[in-house]
Amino acid sequence: MAGLIAVLVSAASNLPLFVQMFGAVHFTPEQSVSSLASMYVALAVTGAGLCLVFRAPIILGWNTAGLAVLIAEGARLTPGEVVGALLLAAALLALFGLTGLFDWIARHLPPPLAAALLAGVLLPFVLRGLTAIPTSPALLMPMLGAYLIGRAFAPRWAVPLALLAGLSAAVLTGDVHLGGAHLPMHFTFIEPGFSVRAFAAVTVPSVLLAVASQHLPGLAILSASGYRDVPPRPLVGLTGLAGLLAAPFGSITLNLGAITAAICTGPDAHPNPAKRYIAGLTCAAGYLALGLNAGVVLGLVGVLPGPLLQGLAGLALLGPLLMGREGTMVAEPRWREAALLTLVVTASGFAWLGLSAPVWGLGLGWSLAAARSWRERRAVLEEPR
């Protein structure tokens, strides 16, 4: 049951984002089905293998914040450039994992700036979802009410409850029009194209966000749940290799799960830690079922009205946004202003000289922190003895 809940929560939370992403990057319907199918199949095969090898509930997922980056930046790129950027991101993550560079990055990426980067990427989508409420109150107010009730009494079911309420409201108001054709599951090769613009706009933030918002929290959840013997190198490296194989078919960046991983790794999944790997296998089976029916899944999501998808995406990203905001607030005083600068620059969508807002946000925030640290060291050295 824990594995099935993880699949349901992750799908309900992110499918609206996938629909928006496919439109932003100009994927055809065939390419969209291929993207979703290749991602889910890669997650299922890799996740099941890791669970069986390590006998641990290793939950894999995709880079949710990376989806937001693609939605924001994809319109300026061709589908080939998007695939090329995702291919490079997967290759870098595989390299970082298999060579041990991931450990070095984990030690040197400042947690406050990583958290601010995550929050800055997600904040515009949350705000966009909330501002859609006045345009379609009959659809979104029931969904918002269901989400609040869910967060108060059954937090892990909040997003599925919001989806159920939104679907019910859409049916009652006549905004759902069923009967559209569903494409069969297939894999479509998308010839990658490589450009500096795509590398700066998609590859760099996707890698940083995968490390900061997915791999590090995912490993922390495994460790906190008692699975300290599971080595990080094969987890990071093999998910990168799986993403490398799936990227030419449109798949986004793959990584360890974070939020959904907590559903399967704790005592709620099973009192005996040695049995919890079954939740990971069940999650992998659920991913495989979604992948084999990717066309049907996209077809069902596609019949929903735009404001409902926009509102659901905003509610689904509140949890990750909260995680990012908390990471900036607990920082040392010298990091707080730098983290705030990273957050606001990233959220503003500021892009210049071919560099995307997340790159500018991280660069400016890191520069401010470095300058302040240098000034403080100079002040200490200049104090009279």
Paired tokens of 175: 């905004």
Residue 36: CB atoms within 10 Å: 28
pLDDT digits (tens, 9 = 90+) for 24-54: 999 999 999 999 999 999 999 999 999 999 9
CA angle 127–204–248, rounded 5-degree value: 100
Q: Is the pLDDT of residue 94 over 90?
A: yes
pLDDT digits (tens, 9 = 90+) for 7-18: 887 887 788 889
| Band of residue 360 on the pLDDT scale cut at 50, 70, 90 | confident
Q: Is the pLDDT of residue 179 over 90?
A: no
SS (H, E, C) the chain: CHHHHHHHHHHHHHHHHHHHHHHHCCCCHHHHHHHHHHHHHHHHHHHHHHHHHHCCCCCEEECHHHHHHHHHHHHHCCHHHHHHHHHHHHHHHHHHHHHCHHHHHHHHCCHHHHHHHHHHHHHHHHHHHHHCHHHCHHHHHHHHHHHHHHHHHCHHHHHHHHHHHHHHHHHHHCCCCCCCCCCCCCCCCCCCCCCHHHHHHHHHHHHHHHHHHHHHHHHHHHHHCCCCCCCHHHHHHHHHHHHHHHHHHCCCCEEECCCCHHHHHCCCCCCCHHHCHHHHHHHHHHHHHHHHCHHHHHHHHHCCCHHHHHHHHHHHCHHHHHHHHHHHHCCCHHHHHHHHHHHHHHHHCCCECCECHHHHHHHHHHHHHHHHHHHHHHHHHHCCC
Long-range contacts of 323-327 (CB under 8 A, 24+ apart): 323/115, 323/118, 323/213, 323/217, 323/259, 324/115, 324/116, 324/117, 324/118, 324/119, 324/120, 324/122, 324/213, 325/115, 325/119, 326/115, 327/111, 327/112, 327/114, 327/115, 327/116, 327/118, 327/119
Is residue 113 within 8 A of residue 365, CB to CB? The reply is yes
How far is it, in rounded angstroms, from Cα 174 to Cα 139? 10
Paired tokens of 319: 């949890």
Q: Which residue has the tokens 């994992």?
A: 97
Residues 6 or more apart in contact with residue 180 via CB below 8 angstroms = 299, 302, 303
pLDDT digits (tens, 9 = 90+) for 183-235: 888 999 999 999 999 999 999 999 988 988 889 888 878 887 888 888 889 99
> What is the rounded average pLDDT of the residues 137-149?
93
* pLDDT (0 to 100) of residue 353: 73
How far is it, in rounded angstroms, from Cα 368 to Cα 385? 28
In terms of average pLDDT, the best of 72-76, 240-244, 306-310 is 240-244
Helices 158-173 and 2-24: crossing angle in degrees, nearest 10, is: 60
Q: Which residue has the higher pLDDT, 71 or 324?
A: 71
How far is it, in rounded angstroms, from Cα 297 to Cα 188? 17
Q: Is the pLDDT of residue 178 over 70?
A: no
Paired tokens of 313: 């995406």
> What is the rounded average pLDDT of the residues 335-358?
84
pTM to 2 decimal places: 0.80
* pLDDT (0 to 100) of residue 358: 82
How far is it, in rounded angstroms, from Cα 254 to Cα 28? 22
Q: What is the mean pLDDT of the chain?
A: 87
| Band of residue 305 on the pLDDT scale cut at 50, 70, 90 | confident
Helices 294-302 and 277-292: crossing angle in degrees, nearest 10, is: 70
How far is it, in rounded angstroms, from Cα 226 to Cα 143? 37
Residue 272 Cα distances to 156, 224, 257, 275, angstroms: 21, 15, 21, 6
Q: Is the pLDDT of residue 181 over 60?
A: no
